[in-house]
Amino acid sequence: MKSVFILGRQPALGKAELESLFGATALQPIGTNAIACDLNFNEIPFSRLGGCIKLAKILTWLDTTSWDEIEYYLAKAIPDHLHYLPPGGKLKLGISAYDLDVNPKLINATGFAVKKIIKNSGRSVRIIPNKFTALTSAQVIHNQLTDKLGWELLLIKDGKRTLLAQTTSEQDIEAYAARDQARPMRDARVGMLPPKLAQIIINLANPPVGSEVLDPFCGTGVILQEAMLMGYSVCGSDIDPRMGEYSRANLDWLVSKFPKLDKLNRSWQLGDATQMKWETSGFTINDSIVKSAKRMPNSIQCIACETYLGRPFSSTPKPHVLDEVIQDVNSILKKFLQNVARQTSTGIRMCIAVPAWRVEHGFKHLKVLDSLEELGYNRIRFKHVNSDDLIYHRNGQVVGRELMVLERI
């Protein structure tokens, strides 16, 4: 294993995303919040991963989980690594611990002990103080800990060992916020799909390189936007004509920010996803894209979408009300899957987000999930995560988003 990821708030989503992209054998779970990978960090397209907070290169494994022994190792090893830094300038050092029996006060004490050693070696250094056992993304970015003169050391417990790694990339929270909040057209009434979740959905669908992503419930175009940033052409559709105006405006805005994306085909169609026939372009980014070219129907290559989530709830509804909503959503989803099955060929893969409702003892799921094979689909299972855990939700939310990865049979 050469690299390690620190997973996001819901680790199961990040594990499934990575397994979808790199395969199960390339990964090895580490502790509760990390997963190692056999790829070098510079081979990994980190900016497209919505379920991971940090990417780091593995430095070594320590045969201990004792913080005193870890500190002793750092005190001996760090001076030997100072010569890898560019000459001159102040070193910035941060330490993040995961699953280890340690607190921020002890980590800060270790940081100051290391600072003294570094200064005695003739280098100036600033230690980034810990408010928590792990530094936040904002701290890492603000203090430039992934730059040439920056070090964030990750210490991750794995059984009786500790993995030591150095952060190479951090989730760009400012870029996500800009893509989400600066878009010209937003509408809270149709739901606010986070860009990070959109990335996860696309990566779980895992479109072929250079293909086109179809979102049949595109709303304001968040999934279309993130798919274009990954290099895919896109086709969106929605039953609400306003969404055509919104998604077009948002994609035009995106292209104005990233002009290279204008080479990708983008289109939008008005229609009910339970019965419409999509006319996707059939183009790839390797084709010469001519906007007036005749479309090639029945060429759906990949689907990534958030389907109809039903009525929003601010508190748990009464059982009979929830049953009515589930029945309504179940009917729409079944018709949608039947419609897609008529227009796709064997092997086409999709990831769809469907509602799952939090009740007293967990989540209540749609009944249609029990008859996927009858509708023409296999639900893809993962080695490193249980499919039942692929539910995006926040504390206090009644309606979560269950991510289903399907393959046409």
Q: Which residue has the tokens 């005695």?
A: 120
Q: Does one domain contain both 234 and 338?
A: yes
Range of the domain at 54: 3-171
φ and ψ at residue 56, rounded to 5 degrees: -140, 155
Task: Please report the pLDDT score of residue 290 as a whole number.
Answer: 31
Q: Does one domain contain both 192 and 157?
A: no
- Residue 345 burial (10 A CB sphere; 0-12, 13-18, 19+): exposed
Q: Assess contact for 251 and 225: CB atoms under 8 A.
A: yes
Q: Which residue has the tokens 């090895």?
A: 28
**Rg of the chain over all Cα atoms, to the nearest angstrom:** 24
- Note the pLDDT tens digit of each residue in 229-238: 999 999 999 9
Rounded to an integer, what distance in angstroms lies between the CA atom of residue 404 and that of residue 409? 15
Ramachandran bin of 76, using left for φ above 0, alpha for ψ from -120 to 50, beta for the remaining angles: alpha
Tokens of 211: 């293909």
Q: Does one domain contain both 159 and 55?
A: yes
Nearest residue to 1 (alpha-carbon basis) of 200, 203, 161: 161
Q: Does one domain contain both 273 and 375?
A: yes
How many structural domains compose the chain? Answer: 2
Q: Does one domain contain both 334 and 263?
A: yes
Task: Please report the pLDDT score of residue 191 as a whole number.
Answer: 60
Residue 286 predicted with pLDDT over 70: no
pLDDT band for position 188 (50/70/90)? low
Q: What stretches of 238-318 show up as alpha helix (H) in DSSP? A: 241-257
Domain boundary among 171, 186, 221: 171
Q: Does one domain contain both 45 and 155?
A: yes
Between strands 91-98 and 150-158, the pairing is parallel
Task: Please report the pLDDT score of residue 265 as a whole number.
Answer: 94
Task: Please report the pLDDT score of residue 283 as a whole number.
Answer: 40
Q: Does one domain contain both 253 and 314?
A: yes
User: In CATH, what number is assigned to the domain containing residue 400?
Assistant: 3.40.50.150
Q: Is 352 helix (H, G, I), strand (E, B) or coil?
A: strand
Q: Please provide the average confidence, as pLDDT, over all residues in the chain.
A: 92
Residue 295 predicted with pLDDT over 70: no
Residues 6 or more apart in contact with residue 210 via CB below 8 angstroms: 231, 232, 284, 285, 286
Domain boundary among 171, 186, 205: 171
CA 377 to mean position of chain CA atoms: 24
pLDDT band for position 190 (50/70/90)? low
Residues 6 or more apart in contact with residue 46 via CB below 8 angstroms: 52, 55, 169
Q: Does one domain contain both 256 and 347?
A: yes
Q: Assess contact for 61 and 156: CB atoms under 8 A.
A: no
Q: Does one domain contain both 290 and 341?
A: yes
Q: Does one domain contain both 289 and 398?
A: yes
Task: Please report the pLDDT score of residue 189 as a whole number.
Answer: 65
Domain boundary among 144, 171, 198: 171
Q: Assess contact for 218 and 242: CB atoms under 8 A.
A: no
What average pLDDT score do residues 257-268 get? 95
Q: Does one domain contain both 305 and 187?
A: yes
Q: Does one domain contain both 312 and 216?
A: yes
- Note the pLDDT tens digit of each residue in 342-399: 999 999 999 999 999 999 889 999 999 999 999 999 999 999 999 889 999 998 899 9
The pLDDT > 70 percentage for the chain reads 95
User: In CATH, what number is assigned to the domain containing residue 22?
Assistant: 3.30.2130.30
